[in-house]
Amino acid sequence: MKRMVYVILMIAALGLSVTLFGRNEASQDAVLAREIGSLLENGEIQIDLTDLTDFKWAKVDVFGPYTSNEVIEDSMAIKFKGNNGGIDILDDGFLLVFADEKFAVKTVVLSRKYGNYDIKDNKFLSVEQ
């Protein structure tokens, strides 16, 4: 009987650890944000994101002010958990979202001072002034 209780507790602990640590939450990438900001500051209007990223992603999109997590999920056909940079309540930036096939993996907050942003060919960040 004690062995059965021990096995059940082990299974419960394993399930809890998977739930807590395997949450697939997107983190904000401050280093990438600085790199993109520097390129924008130097007048770049089209940036190849594949050259700047060192993590795996399958799709990328950019979202404007007041965009909810639900809109991001619907637009990209993913689950979005993690840092949205306040894009749902702020009007001073855009949010660049990188995702694998199912989940957002990284986000980058972009300043509005350079203009509006768009994604071309699931690869290029374009700035429209």
- Is residue 4 pLDDT above 70, yes or no? no
Instruction: Return the domain boundaries, the chain.
Output: 25-128
| pTM of the complete model | 0.81
Q: Mind giving me the DSSP string for the chain?
A: -HHHHHHHHHHHHHHHHHHHH----BEE-HHHHHHHHHHHHTT-SEEEHHHH--S--SEEEEE-TT--HHHHHHHHTSB--B--TTTTT-SSEEEEEEE-SSBEEEEEEEEGGG-EEEEETTTEEEEE-
Instruction: Report the alpha-carbon distance of residue 75 to residue 61 in Å, rounded.
Output: 9
- Tell whether the model's pLDDT for residue 18 goes beyond 50: no
Cα end-to-end span (Å), the chain: 71
Which one is predicted more confidently, 55 or 14?
55
Identify whether the C-beta of residue 96 lies closer than 8 Å to the C-beta of residue 85. Answer: no
Of 96, 69, 92, 67, nearest to 82 (Cα)? 69
More confident residue, 99 or 22: 99
The Cα 113–Cα 26 span in angstroms is: 25
For 39-78, write each residue's pLDDT tens digit. 999 999 999 999 999 999 999 999 999 999 999 999 999 9
